[in-house]
Amino acid sequence: MERVHTRRPEQRPDEWVLLSYRLPREPSTPRITIWRKLKRLGVAQISDGLVALPADARTREHLDWLADEILEAGGAATVWLAQPTSRAQERELAAAMADARAAEYRAVLAEAARANGLPTAERNRVLRKLRAELRRINRRDYFPPPERRAATEAVAALHADRKEDTAS
Amino acid sequence: MRWATRAGIHIDRAACAWLIRRDIDPDAEFVFLDDPTDLPADATPFDMRGVELGHHRGDCSFETILRRYELTDPTLWRIAEIIHEADLDDERYDAPEAPGLDVILRGLSMTGDDARTLAVTQAIFDGLYEYFHRQHRLGREPA
């Protein structure tokens, strides 16, 4: 199934920013902090200690600062700009990232569906929570899967004023 | 004094420049480097990797400068929360202003150069300061 829309098909692969890093096993707190930050950024895990993001000013800056943070924690880190040598490799990376986001959007969709029948006050509470969750997912969504739109619409429809639109 | 940072400024660098001029060096002159290795010998670097006035212990550069120069004004620290979230987005603080400010800064960098972003944002930060200063004094939202 072709679900990933790369930005410039049939051309040379785009540039990626890679962070190669190693952290001491102990203490575990910096390891966990870094792992959480990488997860939040939605990185593609290429191998143990090597992660990638499509390169732009924001992703480069995030990985640069993370590299500094790893160095400060007594680890080793280098940041690279690279191009996969083939479109196929790039598609594989992008597909893995899109699949990870799709799963997150599906979880939002499921929660929105469950909230649909709730009383207004409770539904609004879920609406606020899911809007925040969607924003978090959108920020790490570099290759939007179809689930993005479905989740966005399902969450918007939880609002009382928009419920009628979608029900009809 | 001369101060240097990376070219292509975003929220943290724009806010640091505003803070430096406002509280540390009114005559500050800013240099924007395309290549960090071109750092002039007489310039103090900020918001660059591996420098004192950069990110440390999860703080953004704006917070680092506040600590380093012992600036304790609660209004500046309230603004620091916004800058931190707009820059790092790690939910350390509750700063609902941050996503909007982040988008404004990204848009500015698409339509103008660093000098213009700096000029526009200085007025924005002056406005933010006045707003949060009044909010702090009144203990409620200022009209």
Please, which pLDDT band fits residue A10 given cuts at 50, 70 and 90?
A: low
A29 at B interface, C-beta within 8 A: no
How many residues does this entry show for chain B?
143
Return the pLDDT at A74.
Answer: 94
The residues, ordered by sequence, that sit 6+ positions from B99 with a Cβ below 8 Å of its Cβ are A135, B85, B86
In this prediction the ipTM stands at: 0.88
Return the pLDDT at A160.
Answer: 80
In a domain, B70, yes or no: yes
Inter-chain contact B99–A61, Cβ cutoff 8 Å?
Answer: no
Please, which pLDDT band fits residue A1 given cuts at 50, 70 and 90?
A: very low
**Between residues A52 and A117, the one the model is more confident about:** A52
- Measured CA to CA, the distance from residue B63 to residue A141 in angstroms comes to 28
Inter-chain contact B99–A135, Cβ cutoff 8 Å?
Answer: yes
Inter-chain contact B55–A37, Cβ cutoff 8 Å?
Answer: no
Return the pLDDT at A2.
Answer: 45
Query: Which residues in chain B are contacts of A58 at CB distance < 8 A?
Result: 10
Kindly list the averaged pLDDT for each block of 10 residues, start to end, along chain B of length 143. 95 98 97 92 95 95 98 98 95 95 95 95 97 96 90
Please, which pLDDT band fits residue A168 given cuts at 50, 70 and 90?
A: very low
Q: For chain B, how many structural domains are there in total?
A: 1
Checking if the pLDDT of A162 tops 70, the result is: yes
B54 at A interface, C-beta within 8 A: yes
- Distance of CA A68 to CAs A49, A94, A107, Å? 15, 26, 34
User: Could you tell me how many CB contacts below 8 A there are between chain A and chain B?
Assistant: 24
Nearest to A39 by CA among A64, A3, A72, A66: A66
In a domain, B143, yes or no: no
Return the pLDDT at A5.
Answer: 52
In a domain, B65, yes or no: yes
SS3 of residue A108 by DSSP: helix
Inter-chain contact A64–B56, Cβ cutoff 8 Å?
Answer: no
Percent of chain A with pLDDT over 90: 83
Minimal C-alpha gap between A38 and chain B (Å): 11
B142 at A interface, C-beta within 8 A: no
Return the pLDDT at A7.
Answer: 54
Asked if B7 contacts B95 with a C-beta cutoff of 8 angstroms, the reply is no
SS3 of residue A3 by DSSP: coil
Q: Name the burial class of residue B143, with classes exposed (0-12), middle (13-18) and buried (19+) by CB atoms within 10 angstroms of its CB.
A: exposed
DSSP-derived pairing of the beta strands A76-82 and B2-6: unpaired
Inter-chain contact A68–B58, Cβ cutoff 8 Å?
Answer: no
pLDDT, tens only, A103-125: 999 999 999 999 998 999 999 99
Checking if the pLDDT of A167 tops 70, the result is: no
Question: Domain residues for B17?
Answer: 2-138
In a domain, B30, yes or no: yes
Residue from A66, A68, A79, A133 whose CB has the most chain B CBs within 10 Å, to mutate: A68
Query: Which residues in chain B are contacts of A72 at CB distance < 8 A?
Result: 56-57
Across-strand partners of A76? A22
Minimal C-alpha gap between B106 and chain A (Å): 10
